[in-house]
Structure 1
């Protein structure tokens, strides 16, 4: 996963979709091209989240752990109206992702 801009709303769905897309895109021999699901743990927070990843026809499940850290150095401040100073800061986040065999 790369670094992205964003806020905390809808993080579980966004993270799950990114995980599913990465599994399909980077599948190895025998990995499915569809039917990949990343189920969020009930205790997830935007900064620390777990997802149990399964796939149709696969014999194993994997636990994917996502840690999101704010990186203020990467924040983006778009210019304001007519090139004046902006009033909005778009936060930037770094991600660290680990996985292990088995459900979370």
Structure 2
């Protein structure tokens, strides 16, 4: 998940925090799918910290007998946003913001 990128909501500002809950679901799914033989295959929970912000979130990830603290930093992509072809009739364009994610983990809860 470190070094990944994704598109944001075209209607949201950079200070929007809705991505935090969506990313929690992504963490849970990725651990189950790619976690390896000793990772739990179900029952993974990623709980965002109350102190999370629009640019940084911390999650306590639990499953099986383990707990980890995952810190995720979201920054606007240097590669730029995506601008699909204009709306029919030349009524403008839509800009889809692009974000990069940096992830670090450590054992124990946050």
CA distance in 1, matches of 2:35, 2:77: 30
Residue by residue over 1:29-81, the C-alpha shift from the partner in whole angstroms, topping out at 9 and shown as x without a partner, is 222111100000001112101000001xx222000000000015330112223
- How far the C-alpha of 1:83 sits from its partner, in A, is 6.7
In the alignment, which residue of structure 2 is the partner of 1:39?
47
Residue aligned with 1:12, SS: helix
Whether the 8 Å CA contact 2:5–2:100 is kept in 1: the answer is yes
CA distance in 1, matches of 2:95, 2:42: 37
Within-5 A mapping of 1:18-97: 18-55=26-63, 58-82=64-88, 84=90, 86-97=92-103
Is there any run of 5+ residues in structure 2 with no aligned partner, and where? 10-15
CA distance in 2, matches of 1:30, 1:102: 17
- How far the C-alpha of 1:100 sits from its partner, in A, is 0.3
TM-score normalised to the size of structure 2? Answer: 0.82
Residue aligned with 1:73, SS: coil
Which structure would you say has the larger RCO, counting Cα contacts within 8 Å and 6 or more residues apart?
2
